[in-house]
Structure 1
Amino acid sequence: MLLEKAPAKINLSLDVLYKRDDGFHEIEMVMTTIDLSDHIELTPLKENVIKIISENRYVPNDSRNLAFQAAAKFKERFQIKKGVAIKINKQVPVAAGLAGGSSDAAAVLRGLNKMWQLQKPFEQLASIGAEIGSDVPFCIYGGTALAKGRGERLTELTPPPSCWVVLAKPSIGVSTKTVYEQLNLQHVQHPNTEEMVQSLKHEDYDRMCNHMGNVLESVTCKLHPEILQLKEHMRRAGADSVLMSGSGPTVFGLTRQETRAERIYNSLRGFCQEVYVVRMLGKPLELA
C-alpha cells in the first residue's frame, strides 16, 4: 500500500479575462496549498480494475470521481495492465472551492507514478491532469503558483508570508458551471494579479492582503447572500483580509496572530458547521 497526501488550495487572486473560442475561460489566478489534506491510500490489485473506496457519501465510487479518471488516464497513457484500489479519506470539504477532488486526482497520479516505479516527471503528470480538470496541474506540483490559460500554464511563485488561515464552508452547494455561465465580464471588478505576484515576491503581508480578489465572488454572492454575511462576520471577528476561494462557497480569512485565528474560529462555530484553522504550505511538493 502507498500513501499520498492531497492538500487543498485557496485562491489569493482569481481573475477571468475572457471566454475562449473553445468554450473555456481564459483565467489568471494565484493559488497556494494549505495544511488541510485528504489522504489517499493506493493498493495494487492483480485484476485490471480501478476501485474507489470512501466512507464519505458525497464521494462517487465510479468514473464521475476525478481520482478514478486520473487512474484510468494514467493507465491508458503508460499502457499499464494492472489494477488499483484507491481509498479516499476525506478531510477537505466536498464542492467547496478548495480543489479537493482535483487534489485527489493529482495525488493518484503522483502515487501511481511511485507505486509502479515509472519515475515520470511532474510535467507529464500535469499534462494528464489538464485533461481531467483546470486545477489538477497545479495540484500536481502544489506550493504557490500563478496559473494562466485554463490553469495549465504555471509559474512558481514565492510562498506567502507566514500567517494563519481560517476557513469556513457554509452548508450550501455551488455549481462552478452555473457561476461561469452567469459571469458578466463587463460588470465585475478585476483583481490586480501582478500586484499580488509582487506582494509575494517582496514577502509583503499587508500588500498581499490589500490585493486579494476573486472575480467570481460577485456571481456566487448574488446566488448565495449568506457568503457575504460570512465574509462580514469574519472581518468583524478580526481577520486582516477575507475572500471566497474558487467558485465558492468556502470563505477564508487571514491573520498573523494565532490567538486572533482562534477567536475568529470560535466566533464562527455557531455560524457555520465546517470551520478550520490551518497554515499555508506554500512550498511545492517533491518528486520522490
Structure 2
Amino acid sequence: MYILEKAPAKINLSLDVLYKRPDQYHEVEMVMTTVDLSDRVEMFWLEEQTIVIESENRFVPNDERNLAYRAAKLLQETYKVKAGVKIKIDKQIPVAAGLAGGSSDAAAVLRGLNQLWNLKLSVERLAELGSEIGSDVSFCVYNSTALAKGRGEKITELPPPPKCWVILAKPSQGVSTQSVYKSLKLDEMEHPNTKAMIDAIYRSDYEDMCARLQNVLESVTLPKNPEVQQIKQQMVDSGADAVLMSGSGPTVFGLVKHESRAMRLYNSLRGFCEEVFVVRMLGVNQTLD
C-alpha cells in the first residue's frame, strides 16, 4: 500500500508578533498562503513497526530530528498503530529557508498516514496533532490560505489570495529563527494591519494586498544580513509590485501580475543567489494529479 502527498511551501503575507507569553513562546498573528513549489512525500506501508526516512538531499535527517519522522511517530504512538512506514521525501523546497518545508513534509505525513493507516481523523484533529510537532505544521495540514494565531496553531481558513506570480530568492546564509525572536524589540516595532490584509484577500484586491505586505521579523533579520537586504532591494529595483521576507528569513519573495515581468526578476536575481524560483500563488488545497 502506498500514498503520495504534495507538500507545498508557504509564504507569510503578513507576520505580526504581539507579545511574549508566560510559556516563553511568542503570540503571533500571521496571514499565510501556499505557493506552487512543493516537496513530494511518498509513504509505503511496512508490516514491522518501524519508521524509515529516505531522501537524496543530504540536509534531510533520517531520524527524530526530521519533523516528518516525528509526525509518523506521534500518530503511531497516539493511536497504537502496529504497522510502520517508509517515507521518501523528494525535496524541492530549500532547507531552512523560512518556507516551512519541514513543517509541510510533516503535515503531508499526517494527511497521508491518516489514509494509509485508516485512522479516519478529521482535518481539525490532524492540525491539533501538528501543533505538537512545530508551530507551522497546523497551517500546513490545511494546505491553503489562513490566519494563524497563538503560537501559529489557531487556524482560521481564508479565501485564496488574488492570482499572481511569486519570485522566491534564498540567499546562501542561514538565519536562526530562535535568535531572531530573541532579538525582537516588541515595543519599538511598527505592527502590520492584519485585518486590512484579510479584507484585501476577501475582496481579491491585488494592489491592496501588495500594499499590506509586512513582516515584523525583518526588523531583526535585515540589519544582521546585508545579503537579504540586497536581494530585497534588487527585487524592488527590478519592478516587483511588492517584496517581503518570508518567516524569519532568509528567503525573500516578490509578487508580480505578469509572467514576463516574473522572468525579468528571475534573470536579475540569478547573479545574487543560486536558489531562485518562479512559481504561481496557490492558496488552495491541491491534490496530486
* Normalised TM-score (structure 2): 0.97
2: CA distance, partners of 1:81 / 1:175: 37
Counterpart residue type for residue 253 of structure 1: G
- Structure 1 partner of 2:129: 128
Counterpart residue type for residue 58 of structure 1: F
Aligned-residue offset at 1:78: 1.1
2: CA distance, partners of 1:103 / 1:78: 22
2: CA distance, partners of 1:85 / 1:283: 28
2: CA distance, partners of 1:279 / 1:100: 17
Say which SS state the counterpart of residue 271 (structure 2) adopts.
coil
- Structure 2 partner of 1:203: 204
Aligned-residue offset at 1:47: 1.3
- Structure 2 partner of 1:245: 246
Residues 99-126 of structure 1 deviation map (CA, whole Å, 9 limit, x = unaligned): 0000000000000011112221111111
Question: What does residue range 72-111 of structure 1 map to in structure 2 within 5 Å?
Answer: 72-111=73-112
Aligned-residue offset at 1:228: 0.9
- Structure 2 partner of 1:45: 46
- Structure 2 partner of 1:191: 192
Counterpart residue type for residue 254 of structure 2: G
Aligned-residue offset at 1:187: 1.5
Q: Does 1:181 align with 2:202?
A: no
Residues 228-275 of structure 1 deviation map (CA, whole Å, 9 limit, x = unaligned): 110000011110000000000000000001100000001111111000
- Structure 2 partner of 1:159: 160
Say which SS state the counterpart of residue 7 (structure 1) adopts.
strand
2: CA distance, partners of 1:281 / 1:233: 24
Aligned-residue offset at 1:184: 0.9
Return 5+ residue gaps in structure 2 as ranges.
Answer: none
2: CA distance, partners of 1:284 / 1:92: 17
Say which SS state the counterpart of residue 201 (structure 2) adopts.
helix
- Structure 1 partner of 2:151: 150
Aligned-residue offset at 1:86: 0.7
Aligned-residue offset at 1:167: 0.3
2: CA distance, partners of 1:210 / 1:113: 39
Question: What does residue range 260-275 of structure 1 map to in structure 2 within 5 Å?
Answer: 260-275=261-276
2: CA distance, partners of 1:183 / 1:168: 24
Counterpart residue type for residue 179 of structure 1: V
- Structure 2 partner of 1:36: 37
Return 5+ residue gaps in structure 1 as ranges.
Answer: none
How many residue pairs match? The answer is 286
- Structure 1 partner of 2:233: 232
Aligned-residue offset at 1:285: 4.9
Q: Does 1:116 align with 2:120?
A: no
Counterpart residue type for residue 108 of structure 1: V
Q: Would the aligned equivalents of 1:103 and 1:139 in 2 still touch at CA under 8 Å? A: yes
- Structure 2 partner of 1:169: 170
- Structure 2 partner of 1:18: 19
Say which SS state the counterpart of residue 29 (structure 1) adopts.
strand
Counterpart residue type for residue 74 of structure 2: K
Misfit runs of 4+, over 4 Å: none
1: CA distance, partners of 2:215 / 2:12: 8
2: CA distance, partners of 1:270 / 1:249: 17
Out of 96-105 and 214-223, give the one that drifted further: 214-223
1: CA distance, partners of 2:185 / 2:77: 39
2: CA distance, partners of 1:193 / 1:27: 11
Say which SS state the counterpart of residue 161 (structure 1) adopts.
coil
Out of 180-189 and 27-36, give the one that drifted further: 180-189
Say which SS state the counterpart of residue 271 (structure 1) adopts.
coil
Counterpart residue type for residue 194 of structure 1: K
1: CA distance, partners of 2:41 / 2:285: 18
2: CA distance, partners of 1:146 / 1:124: 18
1: CA distance, partners of 2:283 / 2:64: 31
Counterpart residue type for residue 15 of structure 2: L
1: CA distance, partners of 2:84 / 2:162: 42
* Normalised TM-score (structure 1): 0.98
Q: Would the aligned equivalents of 1:141 and 1:285 in 2 still touch at CA under 8 Å? A: no
